[in-house]
């Protein structure tokens, strides 16, 4: 199999690239310097020249709060850019794996969202990723849509790094305790994504590490494992206003993985421990 990997310099794609290397799979990793995914003609020419069997599409606009002010740019990258990739895939008969997000849901209730739960994003970023999903399903039959949440990894910024950095100058951190989801380690996720893209089992998946927690509980575990003396004060969403509305419930059901014979990812606490030991 020959794979084109977009967003190659990003947190997730960096670990996907390492996994593809480990598996001995022929791939080409590209980022904005090599290809502007918002340029439809350029995307088509690039994909036709490379002729991949699969495209793992990790490239995205991910600045959730900034997207509220840069909605046009966010939509151009996440919606139009994804449509360009999907149309290019169709032109060469390639399959596509699209990375999506828990933000496509409205965050109501406490039950994990199923893959077929109606989408109702609360912010611009969520809408852009939802529109990207729609573009994939419109242009392709051979696709995998994989929704992820609360990712952390070695490359780029993430919640874990932020917490550890803040602890260097603060003795107490106020963290939201009424938003729930699953922290997800990109190293674990990369393994599953490579399995999915090689499986031929097309469809929509939810892929996160096992277990649920609040952001405050996530922070407390970071402090515990890192043996930081910093304490965590639990606050409400209303006490920490952000430009983009966040879903209270980001729990995702993994029934789609079970039904297709994919092994679930390890518990998030165990994954965090491995991450902090690197």
Half-sphere exposure of 93 (CA within 13 A, CB side): 1
Tokens, residue 66? 């900034």
Give the Cα separation of 8 and 28 in Å (integer): 9
| DSSP annotation of 207 | -
240 included as an active-site residue: no
* Sole residue written with tokens 């997800």: 184
Q: Which helix (H) or strand (E) holds 135?
A: helix 124-139
3-state secondary structure (DSSP) of residue 3? strand
DSSP 274: H
Q: Which residue out of 103, 125, 144, 205 is catalytically annotated?
A: 125
Q: Which two tokens stand for residue 47?
A: 């994909």
Query: HSE on the CB side for 141, CA within 13 Å?
Result: 2
- SS3 at position 61: coil
Active-site annotation, residues: 125
């Amino acid at each position: 199999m020959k794979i084109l990997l977009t967003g190659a310099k990003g947190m997730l794609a960096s670990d996907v690239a390492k996994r593809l290397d480990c598996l001995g799979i022929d791939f080409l990793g590209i980022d904005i310097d090599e290809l502007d995914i918002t340029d439809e003609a350029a995307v088509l020419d690039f994909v036709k020249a490379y002729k991949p069997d699969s495209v793992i599409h990790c490239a995205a606009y991910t600045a959730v709060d900034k997207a509220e002010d840069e909605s046009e740019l966010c939509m151009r990258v996440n919606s139009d850019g994804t449509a360009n990739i999907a149309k290019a895939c169709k032109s060469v008969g390639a399959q596509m794996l699209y990375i999506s997000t828990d933000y496509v849901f409205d965050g109501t209730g406490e039950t994990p969202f199923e893959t077929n739960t109606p989408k109702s994003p609360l912010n611009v970023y969520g809408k852009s990723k939802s529109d990207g999903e729609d573009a994939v399903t419109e242009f392709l039959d051979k696709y995998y849509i994989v929704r992820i949440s609360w990712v952390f990894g070695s490359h780029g910024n993430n919640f874990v790094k932020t917490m550890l950095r803040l602890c260097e100058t603060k003795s107490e951190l106020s963290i939201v305790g009424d938003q729930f989801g699953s922290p997800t380690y990109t190293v674990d996720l990369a393994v599953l994504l490579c399995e999915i893209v090689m499986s031929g089992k097309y469809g929509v998946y939810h892929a996160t590490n096992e277990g649920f927690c609040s952001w405050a509980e996530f922070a407390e575990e970071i402090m515990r494992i890192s043996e930081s003396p910093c304490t965590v004060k639990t606050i409400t969403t209303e006490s920490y206003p952000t430009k983009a509305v966040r879903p209270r419930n980001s729990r995702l059901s993994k029934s789609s993985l079970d039904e297709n014979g994919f092994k679930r990812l390890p518990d998030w606490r165990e994954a965090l421990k491995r991450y902090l030991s690197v």
